[in-house]
Amino acid sequence: MKHILVVDDVINDLKCAEEILRDIYQVTTVDTGEKALLFLEENMPDLILLDVDMPAMNGYEVMEQLKQDEVFSGIPVVFFIEGSDRENEIRCLKMGAMDFIKKPFEPELMLSRIGRILKLTEQNKILQDIARKDGLTDLLNRRYMEKLLNQTDNREEKGFFLLLDLDNFKLVNDTFGHVVGDEVLVRFAGVLKEEVDKEGCVCRLGGDEFAIYIPKDYKKETLKKIVRRMIAVIEFEVNELLSESCGFKVSVSIGIAEKPGDGRSFMELYSAADKALYYVKQNGKRGFHFYGDSQKDIEESEKENKLINLIQLQRLIQEKGCGAGAYKVEYDGFKRIYHFISRCKDRKSQDLQLLLFTVKDTSDNEIGNEKADKGIRILEEAVVQSLRKEDVATKCGNIQYVAILVNASYQNGTIVAHRIQQKFDELLKDDTMTLVYEMQSV
């Protein structure tokens, strides 16, 4: 039911208007302009019926206040005027009113005008929504993002502009066709909408290029956590659509610009974020980079990728079904881990640590199949000998093992990880391979 706010200092007129409207609309009545503005601080009616002649604050003064507020300026206003005052009629329309209604009220005429205005307003909202949305993903479009950032150009508002690009998206279209490519973009957009809160703005700039504006003064470490999770979840969801035999994975690269340090307008922020994105693309793709930061070394980039992998693994464990994901876990192992996690989440006192072990060639070369088989067998034995009965572990991939430590602090988890590394070295009996790990609290 549409909500109408009626503002009039004449009590009989308020009662009359409410009597005419109440069977069709939700009606709120107030008898001063000041009360109307107070009401609007916490409410958003669909239409305001506003008397011109009121003491203290008249209808024109209330209208001026509404026009100065971005939120309230979109509410349609209809003025009440006395008799046939041509000057008032012209002034009402010039101030931006949708129409005027003369006193005394004629019920049928009043309802007809209000119905027409509400219908026109609804149609305009639909057209505005179409004009600012991307047709495929239902995200906001570039035009809206430009307008938003250019409106805040002169403000000292702090925030972050993220430019996102899907790596290997051309291969998706070439391999599976544009229908699947569109599904990938829609799923990508869906993740962004879920991961960005209501204050943020998410848009599709075109093709596989997306942008996010977050109007918050986050510390960089906080934003890094958000971005890592975003990359992990996007890759997890998108790669589920693709066949395992296609020979490639879609990943995400993100360039980040800071407002106002790297720019204020859309083009300034876009240009800075684009340069940061180019840096990621030129350095192996997958990951993120801040425009103002110095170059990352290889070790730091690998660490970021491992953290992203851990988030993906955590998401896989929490999935209820056994589908494709970042890691392929054997079904029985998957079920054991999933049900175990579910049980532990019900016990609020439980601390859980997620450990991901990876066997690597000490020469930094790609590990061969024969060496990988030997390494994973030794790793499995080291894990079995080092963990308690209540812990859960399973193989994931040909050179990786995942373990979940029950009722263990982060410090305890570090001790266990080092114990497994030592056991691995003892069982290996040479220095051809090394064992590395990443850990995250669940």
Residue 120 shares a structural domain with residue 169: no
Q: What CA–CA distance (Å, rounded) separates 285 from 250?
A: 10
Residue 384 has pLDDT above 50, yes or no: yes
Integer-rounded Cα radius of gyration of the chain: 30
Residue 247 shares a structural domain with residue 184: yes
Residue 145 shares a structural domain with residue 277: yes
Query: Is 108 a domain residue?
Result: yes
Least trusted range by pLDDT, from 9-13, 111-115, 191-195: 191-195
Residue 380 has pLDDT above 50, yes or no: yes
Residue 378 has pLDDT above 90, yes or no: yes
- Beta-sheet pairing, 287-290 with 400-406: unpaired
Domain boundary among 296, 324, 354: 296
- What pLDDT sits at residue 152? 64
Residue 323 has pLDDT above 50, yes or no: no
Residue 108 shares a structural domain with residue 225: no
Question: Considering the chain, what percentage of its residues have pLDDT values greater than 70?
Answer: 86
Q: What CA–CA distance (Å, rounded) separates 210 from 225?
A: 19
Question: Which of the listed ranges 156-170, 238-252, 304-318 does the model predict with the highest average pLDDT?
Answer: 156-170
Q: Give, for 37, the enclosing helix (H) or strand (E).
A: helix 33-40
Residue 27 shares a structural domain with residue 111: yes
Q: Which tokens go with 369?
A: 């199949």
Output the domain CATH number for residue 385: 3.30.70.270
Residue 171 shares a structural domain with residue 284: yes
Which one is predicted more confidently, 297 or 331? Answer: 297
User: Which segments of 150-309 are extended strands (E)?
Assistant: 159-167, 201-206, 209-214, 251-259, 287-290
Least trusted range by pLDDT, from 83-92, 140-149, 283-292, 340-349: 340-349
pLDDT, one tens digit per residue, over 136-171 is: 998 999 998 898 888 765 667 889 999 999 998 999
- What pLDDT sits at residue 317? 56
Residue numbers of the domain that contains 416: 343-441
Closest CA to 80 of 133, 143, 19, 17: 17
* Average pLDDT of the chain to the nearest whole number: 84
Residue 103 shares a structural domain with residue 31: yes
Residue 72 shares a structural domain with residue 203: no
Confidence grade of residue 237 (pLDDT, cut at 50, 70, 90): confident
- What pLDDT sits at residue 297? 56
Mean pLDDT across the stretch 131-140? Answer: 86
Residue 39 has pLDDT above 70, yes or no: yes
Residue 126 shares a structural domain with residue 145: no
Which one is predicted more confidently, 396 or 33? Answer: 33
Alpha-carbon dihedral of residues 268, 269, 274, 276, nearest 10 degrees? 120
Output the domain CATH number for residue 75: 3.40.50.2300
- What pLDDT sits at residue 328? 37
Mean pLDDT across the stretch 348-369? Answer: 80
Mean pLDDT across the stretch 236-254? Answer: 80
Question: What are the angstrom distances between the C-alpha of 178 and each of 169, 170, 172?
Answer: 10, 10, 8
Sheet holding 400-406, edge to edge: 392-395, 400-406, 352-361, 433-441
pLDDT, one tens digit per residue, over 78-99 is: 999 987 778 888 888 888 899 9
Domain boundary among 109, 132, 155: 132
Which one is predicted more confidently, 348 or 113? Answer: 113
Query: Is 330 a domain residue?
Result: no
- What pLDDT sits at residue 129? 74
Residue 216 has pLDDT above 50, yes or no: yes
Least trusted range by pLDDT, from 17-31, 319-333, 344-358, 419-433: 319-333
Residue 272 shares a structural domain with residue 158: yes
* pTM > 0.85: yes or no: no
Domain count within the chain:
3
- What pLDDT sits at residue 353? 85
Mean pLDDT across the stretch 308-318? Answer: 63
- What pLDDT sits at residue 327? 33
Alpha-carbon dihedral of residues 137, 140, 146, 149, nearest 10 degrees? -130
- What pLDDT sits at residue 192? 92
- Note whether 36 and 11 are within 8 A (CB): no
Residue 159 shares a structural domain with residue 258: yes
Q: Which tokens go with 171?
A: 């291969």
- What pLDDT sits at residue 441? 80
- What pLDDT sits at residue 422? 93
AA identity, residue 5: L
Residue 127 shares a structural domain with residue 145: no
